[in-house]
Amino acid sequence: MSRRAKMVLDKEFRIAPVDKRIYGSFIEHLGRAVYEGIYQPGHPAADKDGFRQDVVQLVKELDVPIIRYPGGNFVSNFYWEDSVGPVEERPNRLELAWRSLEKNEVGLNEFSKWAKQVNSEVMMAVNLGTRGISDACNLLEYCNHPSGTKYSDMRVRHGVKDPHNIKVWCLGNEMDGPWQIGHKTMEEYGRLAEETAKAMRLIDPSIELVSCGSSNRDMPTFPDWEAVTLSHTYDYVDYISMHQYYGNRDDDSNDFLAQSDDMDDFIRTIISTCDYVKAKKRSKKVMNLSFDEWNVWFHSNAADDDITENHPWQVAPPMLEDIYNFEDALLVGLMLITLIRHADRVKMACLAQLVNVIAPIMTDAAGGAWKQTIFYPFMHASKYGRGVALLPVMNSTKHATAKHDEITDVESVAVYNEEADEVTIFAVNRNLEEDVELSTDVRSFEGYRILEHIVLENEDLKAVNGLGMEKVAPANADNRSSLDDGVMTSVLKKASWNVIRLGK
């Protein structure tokens, strides 16, 4: 076999503990994410509150520890007061970000109840587009203060006696983007976020705050946006956000799978910028990252534009409903590997989104729910990627791409779960033409044996799943890995996602 990769893993070569919140996700009031997604009263799978239990079970399978809500672009014109109280008294609103009609049937309290069903915490976003400091403070008081004040007592009157105790709060969304309702300059946002953070901490000092970073690395203000806004917010926030979506717009699958290298570069640049501000401020505080929007997104763009421009003000129109293929799943796997590799600084991340909207889970309004191709690498990482990220000493053969020069055939990372006495290797062979033999030195893990080798592979890079039709699903490939005298030899088939688990 001409294609080879070598890796050395050692218990002491540690990057950092993996914060489980890097396996977070996102539900926005957009398209069919909420209505016909998580919520559909009258559906055979709906419970008494209208939440689809078939969706609940799939979300539980992904084991998502935190979910960002309610946006996204939606939050920049969100009036939270409209989403609470008796449902029959809630107003319909023109939703400006996606030009839809928001009926407010599901709001803050309903979503919090649903999040508990799926064993998730809520990452709440505040409106710093059309609103500001006082409204953010009022919302926090409503959510987290026990009782005895205007907004906490309002929550109690709404039937929620105990505080929600939401711990993570996003200070707006993509405020650098001209598309954002209430778009701000760097200085404007920096000052507003700083003052909002200071005020919110007076109400609840225990909260964690996320300052808006760049909407993507191609923004003309990147990375000045981070440097300028953090010069205001650095002492008052815990994270800066990152957003990035990728797509195979040129129909070049070889180069498409190189885009995780761009993600790695993006993260490294943000870390450098944060550390520059840290040095400038003579601070001892380390700024961590919240990669709270990431995914593949490009399939549905034309259809989305038609709805917003030519058919506005619909209730929950089908928008951003990308149908993911096998190569999309490979890139999602590569992006997960990249996030784990940066576990020392990336402490939260949200696959955007969770149901129907650029999502691993899809629903049929008249039928069932099903798993997209990207469901599986995310599920594997969430299930087996808990523990300490190990720094692999890696050497791989390379191949050429159109826009990224030469890239490695194999990208890999490992997570050591000391409590379970297991180590899991995640690896993608992104060579589309040839298999690769991966040799891994695991002498540090004396007495371990191969528990399983799981693969996701398909001869057709464009293969998709559908309701009752699963063409892309994991399979067992234990015969592909063997362990001899502390060295494991694994065959990674061309274009494949691999999960290799070792333990006692």
Please report which confidence band the pLDDT of residue 57 belongs to, taking 50, 70 and 90 as the band edges: very high
- What pLDDT sits at residue 459? 97
| Count of all residues that appear for the chain in the document | 504
* pLDDT higher than 90, residue 141: yes
* pLDDT higher than 80, residue 177: yes
**Helix segments in 158-297, DSSP class H:** 186-203, 224-233, 253-256, 259-280
Its pTM stands at 0.97
SS3 7: strand
* DSSP code per residue over 257-326: TTHHHHHHHHHHHHHHHHHHHHHHTT--PPPEEEEEEEEE--TTHHHHHHHHHHS-SBSS---S----BH
- Which residues 6+ apart lie within 8 Å of 152 measured at CB? 141, 142, 145, 146, 163
Distance, CA of 22 to CA of 386 (rounded, Å): 10
Neighbours of 42 (CB within 10 A): 6
Name the amino acid, one letter, at 502: L
- Which residues 6+ apart lie within 8 Å of 466 measured at CB? 323, 370
Please report which confidence band the pLDDT of residue 56 belongs to, taking 50, 70 and 90 as the band edges: very high
SS3 458: coil
Distance, CA of 165 to CA of 340 (rounded, Å): 28
- What pLDDT sits at residue 2? 83
- What pLDDT sits at residue 304? 84
Distance, CA of 419 to CA of 425 (rounded, Å): 17
* pLDDT higher than 90, residue 305: no
pLDDT in tens, 181-200: 999 999 999 999 999 999 99
What residues are paired with 484 via a beta bridge? 487
Q: By C-alpha distance, which of 356, 315, 359, 351 is closest to 98?
A: 315
* pLDDT higher than 90, residue 65: yes
- How much of the chain exceeds pLDDT 70, in percent? 100
Cα 222-190-78 angle, rounded to 5 deg? 95
Q: Residue 168: what are its φ and ψ, rounded to 5°?
A: -115, 130
Tokens of 439: 């040799």
Give, in order, the Cα–Cα distances in Å from 345 to each of 18, 49, 380. Answer: 10, 39, 22
* pLDDT higher than 80, residue 302: no
Q: Given the DSSP bridges, would you call strands 168-171 and 121-126 parallel, antiparallel or unpaired?
A: parallel
Distance, CA of 397 to CA of 293 (rounded, Å): 31
Distance, CA of 122 to CA of 133 (rounded, Å): 20
* pLDDT higher than 80, residue 1: no
Distance, CA of 467 to CA of 369 (rounded, Å): 7
- Locate the domains of the chain by residue range: 4-10+389-503, 31-384
Q: By C-alpha distance, which of 468, 477, 463 is closest to 329?
A: 463
Distance, CA of 24 to CA of 340 (rounded, Å): 13
- What pLDDT sits at residue 39? 98
Average pLDDT of the residues in 8-20: 97
Average pLDDT of the residues in 126-140: 98
Read off the DSSP letter of residue 479.
G
Q: Which fold has domain 4-10+389-503?
A: Immunoglobulin-like (2.60.40)
Please report which confidence band the pLDDT of residue 308 belongs to, taking 50, 70 and 90 as the band edges: confident
Q: Are 300 and 245 in contact (CB under 8 A)?
A: no
Rounded to the nearest 10 degrees, the angle between the axes of helix 53-62 and helix 375-384 is 50
pLDDT in tens, 264-289: 999 999 999 999 999 999 999 999 99
Neighbours of 280 (CB within 10 A): 12
Q: Are 76 and 129 in contact (CB under 8 A)?
A: yes
Q: Which residues are catalytic?
A: 174, 293
Q: Are 504 and 449 in contact (CB under 8 A)?
A: yes
Distance, CA of 126 to CA of 431 (rounded, Å): 43
Average pLDDT of the residues in 451-478: 97
- What pLDDT sits at residue 41? 97
Neighbours of 314 (CB within 10 A): 15
* pLDDT higher than 90, residue 406: yes
Across the chain, what does the average pLDDT equal?
97
Please report which confidence band the pLDDT of residue 324 belongs to, taking 50, 70 and 90 as the band edges: very high
Average pLDDT of the residues in 48-58: 98
- What pLDDT sits at residue 443? 96
* pLDDT higher than 80, residue 134: yes
Distance, CA of 107 to CA of 41 (rounded, Å): 15
Q: Are 389 and 345 in contact (CB under 8 A)?
A: no
- What pLDDT sits at residue 301? 81
- What pLDDT sits at residue 367? 92
- What pLDDT sits at residue 303? 78
**CATH number attached to the domain at 31-384:** 3.20.20.80
Residues 185-190: contacts with CB under 8 Å, at least 24 apart: 186/221, 186/224, 186/225, 186/228, 186/229, 187/228, 189/128, 189/229, 190/228, 190/229, 190/230, 190/231, 190/232, 190/233
